[in-house]
Amino acid sequence: MDNTILNFEKRKVEINIYLDYLVLLDKDGVELKYKEFQETKYTPVSSEFLTTLTANSFLLLYNVIESTIRNSIIAIYYNIKEEGVTFTELSDNLKKLWTKFETDRFKEGNFRIETIREFVLEFANKIAKEEVVMFSEEWMDFSGNLDANEIRGLAEKIGFLKSPDGRNLVKIKDKRNRLAHGEHTFYDVGKDFSVRDIVDLKNEVFDYLDDVVRNVGQYIQNKSFKSTVSSPPG
C-alpha cells in the first residue's frame, strides 16, 4: 500500500503544479516574456490557449483517478499473495470475484464440454491442494469508465468501505473520454469551465481518493480479504 500512497502523492504534486501555473495564466494582464534575436518581447496569453490548457486538466484528473484505484486494488491482490491465502480462506466477496474471473473465459458458444471438465478438475485441485489464490492485474479492465458509482461497485465486490460523494467524477470521466476518443476538441470541452471550476474539481477528486486509499489501507491492515475477519459494512 506504501507504493499506492507514494504514487498518489506524486500525481497530486504534478497536478497542483499544473494548476498553479494555470491560475497564474488566468490572471488579468499576464503576459509571456521571451527573447527573440536578443530582443526581449512580450505576448499576452490567448484565451484559446488557456481554454486548451483548462480542458487538458480533465486528462490529468482522470489519470490520477484510474491510477490510484488500479494501484489500490493491486495492493490488495499483492497482500493476498504475500499472506498465502487459499480459496477456502478468502472472504465470501473475493471467493465470488475470483470465481467470476476464472469462469469469464467461458463465453456462450465458445467452449466444449471437455474444456469445462478440465476446468472443473483444475478448480477442484486448487482447492483440494490449498494453493495460494492468484488475482491477475489483467482482470482489471476499466476502459475509461471509472466514476464514483463504478468505484463504489468495486468496493462492494471486494469488500472495502465505500467512499461517499464524488458526484463530479462522472463529469471528469465523460470529458476525458470525449477528448480521448476525439469526439470533442480541447476548446469545445474547455470553454464551459473556468480555472476556478477545475481547481474545485481537483479538490473534490483529491478528497475522494484520499478516502478510498484510507479505506483500502484499513481493509488490508485488518486482513479483511480473509474469511476469518469480518469485512467492513458497505
What is the residue-wise DSSP string for 86-133?
BGGGB-HHHHHHHHHHHHTT--TTS--HHHHHHHHHHHHHHHHTTPBP
> Is residue 139 over pLDDT 80?
no
Grid coordinates in use for 191?
470553454
Enclosing H/E stretch for 66 = helix 47-82
User: ∠ at Cα 139 (136, 144), nearest 5°?
Assistant: 135
Q: Determine how many CB atoms are found less than 10 A away from the CB of residue 67.
A: 16
227 within a domain of the structure (yes/no): no
The count of structural domains within the chain is 1
Do 41 and 94 meet the contact criterion of CB atoms below 8 Å apart?
no
> Is residue 233 over pLDDT 90?
no
Range of the domain at 148: 2-221
226 within a domain of the structure (yes/no): no
Per residue in 59-106, pLDDT tens?
999 999 999 999 999 999 888 888 888 888 888 888 888 888 777 766
Distance of CA 65 to the CA centre of its chain: 4
Write down the pLDDT at residue 131: 67
> Is residue 225 over pLDDT 60?
yes
230 within a domain of the structure (yes/no): no
DSSP for 8-61, written as a single string: HHHHHHHHHHHHHHHHHHTSTT-EEEEEETTEEEEEEPPHHHHHHHHHHHHHHH
32 within a domain of the structure (yes/no): yes
Least-confidence region, from 2-11, 38-47, 94-103, 126-135: 126-135
Q: What rounded mean pLDDT belongs to the chain?
A: 85
State the Cα–Cα distance between residues 121 and 119, nearest whole angstrom. Answer: 5
Does residue 225 or residue 118 have the better pLDDT? Answer: 225
Sign of CA dihedral 91, 97, 102, 106: positive
State the Cα–Cα distance between residues 14 and 60, nearest whole angstrom. Answer: 9
Provide the β-strand partners of residue 40.
Answer: 35
> Is residue 189 over pLDDT 80?
yes
Do 213 and 44 meet the contact criterion of CB atoms below 8 Å apart?
no
> Is residue 231 over pLDDT 50?
no
232 within a domain of the structure (yes/no): no
| Residue among 69, 126, 129, 135 at smallest CA distance from 97 | 135
Per residue in 196-224, pLDDT tens?
999 999 999 999 999 999 999 999 999 98
Grid coordinates in use for 221?
491492515
Per residue in 14-24, pLDDT tens?
999 999 999 99
231 within a domain of the structure (yes/no): no
Write down the pLDDT at residue 98: 83
> Is residue 232 over pLDDT 70?
no
Model-level pTM?
A: 0.83
Enclosing H/E stretch for 34 = strand 31-36
Write down the pLDDT at residue 230: 45
Q: Terminal CA-to-CA distance of the chain, rounded, Å?
A: 21
